[in-house]
Chains A and B, each alone.
Chain A
Amino acid sequence: MDNGLVSYKITEPMMQVFNVQEKSDWIIYNRYIQRDLELCKLLIDQDLRNTKDNNEFAFYILGLIYREEGKIKNSYWCFDRYYALNPLCVEGVKQIARSCLLLGRNDEARKMYLEAEKMSREPDTKVYYNLGLCYLNLGELDKSKEYFHRTIQLSRNQDAYEKLASIFAIENNFKNATSILISASKLFPFSTNISVDLGLLYMKQRDYDQAFNVLGNTLCQDPENPKALLTLAAEMQRNFGYDEALAKYTKAVTDLSECSETWNNIGMCFFGKHKYVAAISCLKRAIYLHPFNWIALYNLGLVHIYTRQYVSAFVFLSTSAKLNPNHAGTFMLIGLALNHMNDTRNAEKAYRKSIELNSDNPEALINLTILEINQGKIKEAEKNFHAFQEACLLCGSIDKEIIELGKQVSDAINGQPQSFDEHEDEKLESDEPCYAEVE
């Protein structure tokens, strides 16, 4: 804030003659500092009338006030006047550039900031940070990273750390993103934003224990932080702690009653507790709130398969597949639903599509194998069963039921091919994806 004054004195050392008009500057400054903005505006108005628009400091403060009120265009105009009155001052250029940035004119902002960089005698972290923002908005990530790095080297700027980490996350470079956030969290141990981001990053890398630690710490500082609550609850849910997770969700839901993902997770909690009706109504609310939420649709389909309503399941799953055609699990479930409705031809197609999307997918493979055994295509079944065994080896954690099923199928293929009817009714355990991110 007082930058405006200081730079004014620095840039014009010759003109430090205090004439009459500058006497009012400190009053305006005082009022501004005391946040008496209405009075401040009146004073500025009066002052500008007295000096016939020749008081640059008044323009500067007026610009800041307008910006806080959200009137960026007016603020831009003020800083423009400031710049016109005092073209040698870096601060004016910086503020005009900032206004451009806030108005979304990134290219212009970038040019102004580059000019400001040239004008300032020593490196200015604000300029670097904002240049980083401009490049980020313009999509030039490399340059943006470079400027944020410079900012961090010169100062401790929390925002710069966050932005840098988010750029790394966009580039899927989670390692760098985490290391940046770790160093940031050492510098700013009380910032919940950073620790929540860090926790979410750990979640994305499937490093659940670390995420749990970090988010637990966050909740100690801010017990109501919705992002941390949701993520922690999702983590508990993953570990089958449904009741604890539900408690956390109900805490968060007061804030986020319109958040589709929360309702999705709550629904899946109920599903985990085998309360299917509650699960269905929660998932339906999730879809009501966000009709394009394919995960909720997928989960709803899953629940309907469990409640043996195969037509409904098929409708929801096909909707989910239309919204996101790249999820292998959806097609597998569609196949299952179709199989139960005795449409084996299309079921087979769905299984094959699922395998095509994700070739080491033990569930789809075993289901396809069983289908083929039932149709008497033993040779193809054998081939798929081998693929299944390989997929089982590749995957880390597999459900016991699937292994059990695999054993039965291998018996059926090797020993007595007559007894394959008994394991026709296969059940599918499938991971329910829990997305805890708040949009």
Chain B
Amino acid sequence: MDDTKVIASLDTFYSACMDLRKHNYDRCIESCTIILSKNPYDQAAWALKMRALTEQLSIDDIEAEEEGIADSYFNSDAIAENARVGTSLRTAQDTSNQRPRTVGGRPLSGIVRPSTSSAGGNNLQLALKTPRTVGSSRPLTSQTARNIRLGTASMVSQIDGPFINISRLNFPKYASDKQLSKLLFNYIYYQQNDIRNALDFAVEATKFCNFKDPWWKVQLGKCYVMLGLLRDGEAQFRSALQHGPNIEVFLRLSRLFIRLDQPLSSLDICQKAMSWFPHEVTLLIEIARIFEGLNNIPMSVKYYRDILELDATDMESIACIGLHHFYSDQPEVALRYYRRLLQMGLYNAELFNNLGLCSFYAQQFDVVTACFENALRLALDDNAADVWYNISHVAIGFGDLDIAEHSLHLTLSLNSSHGAALNNLAVLQWRKNNVSQAESLLNSAIAAEDHLYEPHYNRALLAQEEGDHQTSYAMVKKSLSIYPNHYNSKDILNELKKYFSSL
């Protein structure tokens, strides 16, 4: 009781400051509003309210990017249309055929983060063809989901008109004020999400400090990147770096080059940054991710290991290394990494699912069921499908094909466009000689996810057995376009060519 009395007796402005520190943004804003209603020209209160409003919504926007479909289609930034293999994220080499792929066609990563789901889309057609179901979440436009949230939030939070009417703001006046200008910029940029005005404001402000302040250069660069003027952004970031090295700027520059689809320059930048900050984890993570994007898994894992030496609790690294071990036939080692994640307090369906799979392949049969039970208990609709799919694999591993079939049916009931499940179900039906059912299942697998080569190959094989050479030919062509070195597909193709060329 006493505390509240003491607080009530405090100066309102002081209590507002305290509230801001305690991340009690709503109350801080309320107090500032009271002060401002008494004295509308109280700059301190005004600035404080601005800060509270901004911090309410500010996010770490370095990682928030995700390229939209429209963005990637109208993207004229990428330098080469058909880049050489290994120099672009789009033409990343296919070295790891053992790893399954995401809907977009990228090899699976150990962790879900922005841009893991997207394919570095080669074309709009492909992007539009990938089904828009629970499994895929690629935004249609360039405005990312988080940015959109920011925009709408600014409309909700103010009941009686906007707090600051930006269009009526006198930019040169405020930009010249060194105390206020940065706060105001952040407000415009994050809270109002009005990039164009923010840019104008930043231009004014940087003029007033005679182009000496690197902070303003970074902000200018951020605005340019948001507006899609990547080269201008690059110039700003580079000039900011001339004032001295800065991790944030290096990271932003590296991100920018990834958007330009120049992962090698991005790696260069990170390496340069590493010479300044040799033990910086965020830089190492960035490098590891780029290597993963380039399908250079061994290098990626090497960097993830380096990260773990510096920061033993980095979940992303642990998950990625675990995944790598799992797909290189070392489930026992992977199991150790995933158990570490469990010890660290991660408690979700995906983890239990991975634990279950690892222990199954490492022959720890006693825990498999428990793990999958936990996974199912924790799973939501979208990942429950994958859990059931994995259960079907375990069932096949135990030779219980009935359970396998049931779990595949459950997968499909949760996610009707699960291509791999459809394919496997088709194979099971095929084994039972239900050829027509297998055929229709394979067709729907192809319709659902056409980045998998297996359904195409299986369909080709089925058609070949039935003697329908035309379908077989078309399917084998598709299978080879997805996975050019598939020996069995080539075999079929050669046979078909022989058929077609003889009279």
Contacts and interface: CB of A to CB of B under 8 A. Distances in A.
Q: Are the chains A and B members of one assembly?
A: yes
Interface of A: 1, 3, 67-68, 70-73, 94-95, 98, 101-104, 106, 126, 137, 159, 255-259, 281, 284-285, 287-288, 291-292, 297, 309, 311-312, 315, 318-323, 439
A94 B500 CA distance: 14
B469 A72 contact: yes
B487 A71 contact: no
B363 A312 contact: yes
Nearest to A258: B487
Interface stretch (B108-116, B397-405, B444-452): B397-405
A137 B431 CA distance: 20
Contact of B488 (A101, A258, A285): A258
A70 B473 contact: yes
A159 B495 CA distance: 12
Q: Which 9 A-B residue pairings sit nearest by Cβ, starting from the closest?
A: A319-B399, A322-B399, A104-B467, A104-B468, A70-B473, A72-B470, A102-B469, A312-B363, A291-B396
B496 A309 contact: no
A73 B470 contact: yes
B397 A319 contact: yes
A137 B361 CA distance: 41
A67 B500 contact: yes
20 contacts: A3-B503, A70-B470, A70-B477, A72-B473, A98-B503, A102-B467, A103-B467, A103-B470, A104-B467, A104-B469, A284-B361, A291-B397, A292-B431, A297-B399, A312-B363, A315-B363, A319-B398, A320-B399, A322-B399, A323-B399
Contacts of B486: 258
B487 A102 contact: no
B363 A104 contact: no
Interface residues of B, number: 32
Contacts of B431: 292
A285 B361 CA distance: 11
A326 B297 CA distance: 43
A101 B467 contact: yes
A102 B399 contact: no
Contact of B363 (A137, A309, A322): A309
B503 A1 contact: yes
Nearest to A323: B399
A101 B365 CA distance: 51
B499 interface: yes
Contacts of B502: 159
Given A104-B467, A319-B398, A322-B399, A439 B503 contact: no
Contacts of A94: 503
Contact of B469 (A103, A257, A258, A320): A103
Candidate in A67, A106, A311 with the most chain B CB atoms within 10 angstroms:
A67
B466 interface: yes
Contacts of B365: 311-312, 315
A158 to B, nearest CB: 11
Contact of B467 (A95, A98, A137, A323): A137
Contact of B500 (A70, A126, A258, A315): A70
Contacts of A312: 363, 365
Nearest to A281: B329
Given A102-B500, A284-B361, A319-B399, 20 more contacts: A67-B500, A70-B474, A70-B477, A102-B469, A102-B499, A104-B468, A137-B467, A159-B502, A255-B487, A257-B487, A258-B486, A258-B488, A284-B329, A291-B396, A291-B397, A315-B365, A318-B398, A319-B397, A320-B399, A323-B399
B501 A68 contact: yes
B40 to A, nearest CB: 71
A255 B489 CA distance: 12
A261 to B, nearest CB: 12
A3 B463 CA distance: 30
Contacts of B363: 309, 312, 315
Interface string B468-482: 111001100100000
Contacts of A309: 363
A373 B396 CA distance: 38
A319 B97 CA distance: 26
Contact of B487 (A259, A292, A315): A259
B499 to A, nearest CB: 6
